[in-house]
Amino acid sequence: MAKIEIKNVKKEYENSRAVKNLTATIEDGEIFGIAGPNGAGKTTTLKMLAGLITPTEGEIIIDQMNYREDAAAIKEEIGYLPEENTLYENMRPRQYLHFFADLYNIPREIAEERITQLFDALKLKPGKKKNGELSKGMQRKVAIARALIHDPEILILDELTSGLDPATSKYLTEYIKDLAGEKTIIFSAHNLYQVESICDRLLIMKDGETITQGTLNEIKREYERTRYTITYRSREKPPFEEREEENETYRRTTRSIEELESILKWITQKNATINEIHTREETLEDVFLKLIEER
């Protein structure tokens, strides 16, 4: 496993800045999620971590090494899964994985053993089909096996389950979750349920900037708000901005306990009737959308 330090990293292109002053620490053996809307800088960040593109400024230190001096050694520790599968379509999966094992100078017998283990773990049963003849879910599994063939300490995943059916998506999510502790895992995702179910810490980005980062509990504690919904019946129209459900029945939703208390006080004074009070804790997705909208 390996610790990763990202220090004041920027990535600029000719007419834009893709990542702005990114600083983060990814601990040994944790699952670190990166979330944000399209164009947030997620893929650029992952490519810099994988050594595929070079930061304009700043430094990335992996296991006390940096890319300027130790690029070859760092890349041996990394398995990278891009968002698109980009397989060699005319090769069969086992042949394809042996090809990549050869690139890492893995002896044939060890490579065969690892491929068999990966096929079993990923429930990968391609038969005699070539990569181009496989379903999208099967192709994704082959791509994951390719990222793992050299048994890397760090696994970088760009949109692990993008475009997959729910069953395959759930299986791959659980498979990656089982690798926690054994490998350091960094992944990006649009699916906030997936993020919430497996990651230890989360970085939320928009337009290349860091909005917030921390454990899920830290982020939710800082930004989460309880929503209160009260439904009541009153002959007198209330002085609040209300949603009228039907004649003389009103509903109000608020995040403010003070506002809820004010409504209750008014209802008591007017001898109105409370039908229901409902509380709802915000999900990580609620917090995420609120942060993105505010920026």
Amino acid letter for position 89: E
In Å, how far from its chain's centre is CA 185? Answer: 11
- Average pLDDT for 223-240: 84
Tell me 225's DSSP state: -
Contact partners, residue 270, CB within 8 Å, separation at least 6 = 234, 236
Longest dimension (CA), the chain: 83
Least confident residue range of 82-91, 214-223, 227-236: 214-223
Taking residues 187-208, what's their average pLDDT?
87
Helix (H, G, I), strand (E, B) or coil at 126: coil
| Spatial distance between the Cα atoms of 118 and 136, rounded to a whole number of angstroms | 17
Q: Percent of the chain scored above 70 by pLDDT?
A: 97
pLDDT at 190 over 80: no
pLDDT band of residue 295 (cuts 50, 70, 90) is low
Per-residue pLDDT at 97 = 97
User: Looking at residue 1, what is its pLDDT?
Assistant: 55
**pLDDT, tens digit, for every residue of 38-69?**
889 999 999 999 999 999 999 999 988 989 89
pLDDT in tens, 5-17: 999 999 998 888 8
Q: Above 60 in pLDDT, residue 92?
A: yes
Distance CA 212, CA 219 (A): 7
pLDDT digits (tens, 9 = 90+) for 253-286: 888 888 889 999 999 998 888 999 988 877 777 7
Pairing of strands 249-254, 226-233: antiparallel
Strand order of the sheet with strand 57-62? 16-26, 4-13, 57-62, 65-66
Domains of the chain, earliest start first: 4-222 (3.40.50.300), 226-294 (3.30.1490)
Span 153-185, pLDDT tens digits: 999 999 988 888 889 889 999 999 999 888 999
